[in-house]
Structure 1
């Protein structure tokens, strides 16, 4: 026999008391919560460094799926670093692709620009690295060194980068292009930017690294103006805009924050070029 439905009336005072308790005892946001941080040089022993950040960029080869899941359970979006345009000599696959290197990467002694027009490199980045990193449960990709197009501004370089970006789209994860202003500008001009990636990150807009003297300083006015114009165009094209700045003074940090708030940009002020 089918039982009749029963409706229970919850006493109003008790209901109000429960709602008040939920409000009083819900987890409060961290007082020093920060929107964005890039930590591709971070050791997993230093995970506490990520605690205040809501969106973080990590080196996925150093993390397990369980660690990424733990970060996400804390309310973070986790992006994984993926190098499209250069090859580091400390990677386990360096010897496999060393023949594709083009030239040393200025100021980074362990790194070389790579021939992105190579189908072997494209397949490796998309299928092997992209597939492995996507399986970790990352929320998105942080894609580096599309600047190879600025050094080798050829059609096959451009096509190689777009081939990899289209290939990575199969994982249905948002992509942020780090640097690569010449490549990104070309994509904006031909109308393909929003179909290939979701945002751009630009380093050293307000600050710069003096590699020769191993120190940090304010960016020159001409370079700053160039990057701000580029980032404005990126925003107008519908792209999210992120910045990485290096050890700005307190005064400059306030200027960066004010500019980003007015323009809906997101900035991270890094302690150093190692991004730890």
Structure 2
């Protein structure tokens, strides 16, 4: 009996350890990444699967279902990067966006801010994009540029407009069984925490903002964080204290990474 009980306890411990490697599955089946997970973020070209981490965040358009399946075979969870806040002239669905929703350039080549108030126009486009992510087998979505209200978009966007749009984006993901991350948009974390399953952040250490992400960690949700200009020696101690999933990357987001 003692040997049987010990075997059960060991099996349970192993199960919990494996769950901690890539997160948990809530009752509705969506993946819930937990704090402290190591990750790779590669948006520059097709994914290189050689990095030994439990989570990959890769471009939804540039990678195939076979690429996602390969990562799954290696035991990875895979996040689908999709730009939901700006039009990109290099995407195959670029013609689906009417000129009326295209605003100012956002500083990246070939990109223009979107008028996120036009939900009747943008929602079906984003639904098709998230359908693509689901169809390729992704576990989650990273919707980019969800803080247009704090930028010179060419439109009079308000914080209320942004909250409405971000919640619509989260709903689109959840309706498809996909987890969804809140990208940056730190001021709206208190209002959006319950709508998003994890956070993705750029440069919170450089701007002394990392503590603002702690509500996600306190809720058992991962914070996937990168710095570009700040070396690891200047932010990793705090990242470990806050239980963030932190690394240094180059701005082009290729394969190179230097994790904490």
Common topology (TM > 0.5):
yes
Greater helix fraction, Structure 1 or Structure 2: 1
Greater strand fraction, Structure 1 or Structure 2: 1
Name the counterpart of 2:104.
Answer: 103
Q: How many Å separate the matches in 1 of 2:159 and 2:241? A: 37
Q: How many Å separate the matches in 1 of 2:185 and 2:137? A: 26
Q: How many Å separate the matches in 1 of 2:241 and 2:40? A: 20
- TM-score, normalising length: structure 1: 0.70
> Shift of residue 238 of structure 1?
5.0
Q: How many Å separate the matches in 2 of 1:135 and 1:244? A: 28
Q: How many Å separate the matches in 1 of 2:82 and 2:225? A: 18
Name the counterpart of 1:113.
Answer: 113
Q: Answer whether contact 1:149 1:158 (CA < 8 A) is retained.
A: no
Q: Answer whether contact 1:200 1:234 (CA < 8 A) is retained.
A: yes
Quick one: higher RCO (CA 8 Å, sep 6+), 1 or 2? Answer: 2
Q: How many Å separate the matches in 2 of 1:95 and 1:85? A: 16
Structure 2, unpaired ranges of 5+: 1-36, 152-156, 255-260
Name the counterpart of 1:42.
Answer: 45
Match of 1:246 among 228, 247, 256: 228
Q: 1:74 to 1:239 in 2, by over 3 A?
A: closer
Name the counterpart of 1:75.
Answer: 75
Q: Answer whether contact 2:173 2:179 (CA < 8 A) is retained.
A: no
Name the counterpart of 2:241.
Answer: 262
Name the counterpart of 1:20.
Answer: none
| Pair 1:228-2:231 in alignment | no
* Bigger Rg, structure 1 or 2: 1
> Shift of residue 98 of structure 1?
4.7
Match of 2:177 among 157, 161, 172: 172
After superposition, the C-alpha distances for 1:8-51 in whole angstroms (9 at most, x for unaligned) are xxxxxxxxxxxxxxxxxxxxxxxxxx91111011334xx25x43
Q: CA RMSD in A?
A: 2.2
Q: How many Å separate the matches in 2 of 1:77 and 1:160? A: 26
3-state SS, counterpart of residue 82 of structure 1: strand
In the alignment of these two chains, the number of paired residues is 212
Name the counterpart of 1:273.
Answer: 251
Structure 1, unpaired ranges of 5+: 1-33, 207-218
